[in-house]
Structure 1
Amino acid sequence: MSRFLPAPGPARPLAAAQLADSIGLGGYLVCSALFFTRIVGLSPTQVGFGLTAGWAVGFLAGVPLGHLADRRGPRGVAMSLALCTAAALVLFLFVRAFVPFVLVACLYSTALCGLGAARQALLAGLVPAGERTRVRAVLATAVNGGIAVGAGLGGLALQADTAMGYLAVFALDAVSLAVSALVLLRLPVVAPTPASAKGAPVLEVLRDRPYAVVATLNMLLQLHIPLITLAIPLWVVERTDAPGWTVSLLLVLNTLSVVLFQVRVASRVTDLASAARFMRFAGVTLFGACAVFALSGFDMPAWFAVVVLVVAAVLQAAAEMMQASGSWEIGFGLAPEGRQGQYQGFFGSGFTVARMLGPLVVTTVVLGWGTAGWLLLGGVFVAAGAAMGPAVRWARRSAPGRAGTTLVSSAG
């Protein structure tokens, strides 16, 4: 268990908080679409528009809320935003029209994006730089484990298919966020960052072009997120001879892989050089996964299609763990100490963009173009991974005072 648990200290309450709210999140992810259509009474188009609008607002709010965490202290801001997210979920229970739904979706996404930035700033303030990537891997393990439990509970609500069941899932998510906020009280207070000098930019990250390039490349690699959650299920059902239950098999395989091996993979990332190298490996491995997924679309026996899809899913999971490990080291290592909140808010916005635009881009390319689309997407992954090393070196040279302790070698 020592591989999965943080060392005694601040990291353990952080992991407990992540585990608590991820259980509720798992139920939300499984049930939200049907709740909004069947209970709220919205059309799928209205749900898609509202959620996209919400994530767009969240994308814009991440940096300012991260800056607020720097200036006011990340623990208090993280607790407040967790409670705001819980409040938004409670409001969802009373929404029965399109405009209120969009407004609450904007509140939910804004609070959730700010919460992510504040938690990252809290982690940076409590955990030494050399241990952050490993601790972040433990948190990812907790999140995936919690989501798996929550998804199981959400599955019970789907099976019952009643208004009360869906409402209970949303209530569980709100309660789990409130519990996670209370858990943060066990952590020491991180001192706020003093205000910037007169004339200095308040949101420094918005003028940091090298960091913006690094964050953009990471966002391109994060397109594997809608790949596993949306494109692959549709591909399996519509373009392969594999049985429908293969979708569940692939999702379970992905979750278990992260739970069992993410910490081990992250332990190999020790500095910016190894992080950039892992990002390059992730790009190449994602290309391999895309090529094998494309192969599954050719005519073949159902059992062989399942085998091919499992091989592709294993490659995708390995790439996901490498990309995540490298991005944590890079995101923290290139951010100036005392500005982690706004920098993590900016870096984390790539995840928001991937959730907001990724489904449209990935499904259009993969389902619309078939094999050519898979190979094109794989080429994007390879290019982004290969460009990460030079981009990290540029960012490290442009501001030698960044948090990163090791200069990326020319081979990175």
Structure 2
Amino acid sequence: MPSRILPPSGPPRVLALAQFSNSVGDGAFLVCSALYFVQVVGVSPARVGLALTLAWAVGSLAGVPLGHLADRRGPRGTSAVLALATAAAVASFLVIRSFVPFLIAVVCYATAQSGLAAARQALLAGLVDRESRTGVLAYLQATLNGGLAIGAALGGLALQQGSRGAYLVVLGMDAASFAICAVLLWRLPAPPRTPARGRPAADADRTGRSDRPGRPGSPGRPDRPGRPEEAAGAPEPVFAVLRDAPYVVVAALNTVLLLRMPLLSLGIPLWIVERTQAPHWMVSALFVLNTAAVMLFQVRTARAVTDLPAAVRAVRASGLVMLACCAVFALSAAALPAWAAGALLVGGAVLLVVAEMMQSAGGWHLGFELAPAHRIGQYQGFFGTGVPVARTLGPLLLTTLLVTWGVPGWLLLGGLFLAAGYAMGPAARWAERRRPAADRSSAADRSSLGDASPAADSSPVAEASPVVEASPVVAGRVG
């Protein structure tokens, strides 16, 4: 068991500890936050929903510039500062008692969370070699799920007590968890800076200085250390990622595939209650099944994703599995006894988590591998907007398709997943062709995206020790 959820010692393990710290706090917070905002802060449910929607809309826009900031100033310090900003935003909920301050605080929370996710991805990219990143992310995902499960159990105790004091303890714990996360991130070594495109890597060491006279960083022209923009001789555009059309398409397709996220929290619970004969406790059982499966098998699933062809195959397969998943869930609405409907729901949930693990592993690899090395933070900030977008648009889409349309809606949704999965191959090949040679993998003999050869051997991370790390470094989210 430990080898499936713990990374090896060194930066991967510290990243996992930071992930675990804030995920425990967020697990408790996510369970209690809605009732706290309504019963203690005094905000109506409609206004809570409005505030969260606006907050995550702003947060999704903030990911790119904050990721760009991590590229310029360094991901370690940026991550630590944004973790502290998240802690401060959560702590402010302890004293807020009206809507306008609540709205400001939740916008600050969502903005800091989105920026923290992008900065931590850039930090991971700087500390973990590219062949090992997907494996490390898989361990981090397992850590995330374990922390959320423990936090949710603690939050359940607060809900059981139902007092104002219990809610305040949960909020204080979440704020403290992000403060601990900030300390752990700051203790990591500062990753070496990546020179911007147009300047040979040999011209700049990790301090950003050059031995060529007359250029920035030379002894005669000192510049601030580690500034890739200055090393290239010109400022980097904040929204350069938006000019990279192939990467934008890859990120958009990934966002479509991420519509599976609100399925477990919204679509399936509504389906069970409104359309099936299964007992309502199946909602909780399916959530536990999903969490446990990711903890146990995400690392193993990610080991098969070692290069771009393998990532494309994983994403394509996830689309096919999601089509089968949607078909099985649709069948659960037939005139069946409760046990048969429950069995179909379990089968659909198993297919859902299999597709989730394949899509996550493939998506992580594509998001990193297709991004320029000196703009990882900015590109990951953009790639990460798929999560808040899916959580914002998903509820309306899923309630329309599943609750209103029923079985045809499930089949249409499955077809959407299938189309996005199969479209990822051409989009990734387009993005690979557009990448400059300086940003390509150092492995000259890596397979082309069109090859059908078997996947490469397991990631070095998975083989390095009994434990490997993986972490999507995804910050927890309100609502």
| TM-score bucket (shorter structure) | over 0.9
Matched, 1:296 2:297: no
Question: 1:332–1:403: 8 Å Cα contact kept in structure 2?
Answer: no
Q: Take 1:408 and 1:307, find their aligned partners in 2: how far apart are those partners? A: 42
Structure 1 range deviating more: 97-106 or 187-196: 187-196
Which residue of structure 1 aligns with residue 318 of structure 2? 282
Matches of 1:356 and 1:168 in 2, distance apart?
Answer: 29
Matched, 1:241 2:277: yes
CA contact (8 A) 2:72 2:228 kept: yes
Cα distance in 2 between the residues matched to 1:124 and 1:82 = 18
Per the alignment, residue 163 of structure 1 pairs with 164
1:2-401 matched pairs, under 5 angstroms: 2-190=3-191, 191=193, 192-195=226-229, 197-198=233-234, 201-401=237-437
State how far apart, in whole Å, the 2-side matches of 1:187 and 1:164 are: 35
Kept in 2, the 8 Å contact 1:337–1:403? The answer is: no
Q: Give the Å deviation of 1:185.
A: 2.8
For structure 1, which runs of at least 5 residues remain unmatched after alignment?
A: none
Higher relative contact order, chain-length normalized (CA < 8 Å, sep 6+): 2
CA deviation vs aligned residue, 1:148-167 (integer Å, no higher than 9, x gap)? 00000111111111111112
2:82 maps to amino acid: L
Output the CA distance in 2 between the equivalents of 1:201 and 1:408. Answer: 30
Q: Aligned to 1:33, what secondary structure does the other structure show?
A: helix
- Which amino acid in structure 1 is aligned with residue 278 of structure 2? A
Distance 1:183 1:256, change over 3 A: same
User: Structure 2 unaligned runs (5+)?
Assistant: 194-225, 453-479
Residues 76-122 of structure 1: CA distance to partner in whole angstroms, max 9, x if unpaired? 00000001001111111222222221111110000000000000000
Aligned amino acid, residue 204 of structure 1: A
With normalisation by structure 1, the TM-score equals: 0.97
Residue type of the alignment partner of 2:323:
F
| CA distance in structure 1 between the partners assigned to 2:383 and 2:233 by the alignment | 24
TM-aligned CA distance change 1:248 to 1:93, over 3 Å: same
Please say if residues 65 and 238 of structure 2, whose CA atoms lie closer than 8 Å, have aligned partners that are also in contact: no
- Equivalent-residue separation in structure 2 for 1:297 and 1:197 (angstroms): 62
Equivalent-residue separation in structure 1 for 2:447 and 2:235 (angstroms): 30
1:328 positional shift: 0.6
Name whichever of 83-92 and 162-171 sits farther off: 162-171
- Say which one has the larger Rg: 2
Contact map agreement 1:85 1:107 (CA 8 A) in 2: yes
**Partners in 2 of 1:365 and 1:197 — Cα distance?**
51
Q: Root-mean-square deviation (CA), in Å?
A: 1.4
Q: Which stretch of the first structure deviates more once superposed, 79-88 or 33-42? A: 33-42
Counterpart CA distance in 2 for 1:338 and 1:207 is 15
Aligned-residue offset at 1:203 = 2.8
How far apart, CA to CA, are the structure 2 residues paired with 1:200 and 1:144? 36
1:407–1:400 CA distance, 2 compared to 1 (3 A):
farther
Amino acid at match of 1:376: L
The aligned residue for residue 458 of structure 2 is: none
1:37-67: CA deviation from partner (whole Å, max 9, x where unpaired): 1212222211111000000100110000000
Indicate the larger mover: 99-108 or 56-65. 99-108
Q: Deviations over 1:347-376 (max 9, x none)?
A: 001111112221222122111111111111
SS for the counterpart of 1:338 is helix
- How much has 1:136 moved relative to structure 2? 0.4
AA paired with 1:92?
F
Pick which of 392-401 and 309-318 moved more. 392-401
Aligned equivalents of 2:285 and 2:434: distance in 1?
46
Counterpart among 445, 449, 453 of residue 409 in structure 1:
449
Report the counterpart of residue 469 of structure 2 in structure 1.
none
TM-score (norm 2): 0.84
- Report the Cα distance in structure 2 between the residues aligned to 1:408 and 1:371, rounded to whole angstroms: 39
Deviation at 1:193, TM superposition (A): 4.5
Question: Do 1:129 and 1:403's aligned partners in 2 also have CA atoms closer than 8 Å?
Answer: no
More helix by share: 1
Does the 8 Å CA contact 1:193/1:338 hold for their aligned counterparts? Answer: no
Deviation at 1:201, TM superposition (A): 3.2
What letter corresponds to residue 107 of structure 2 in structure 1?
C
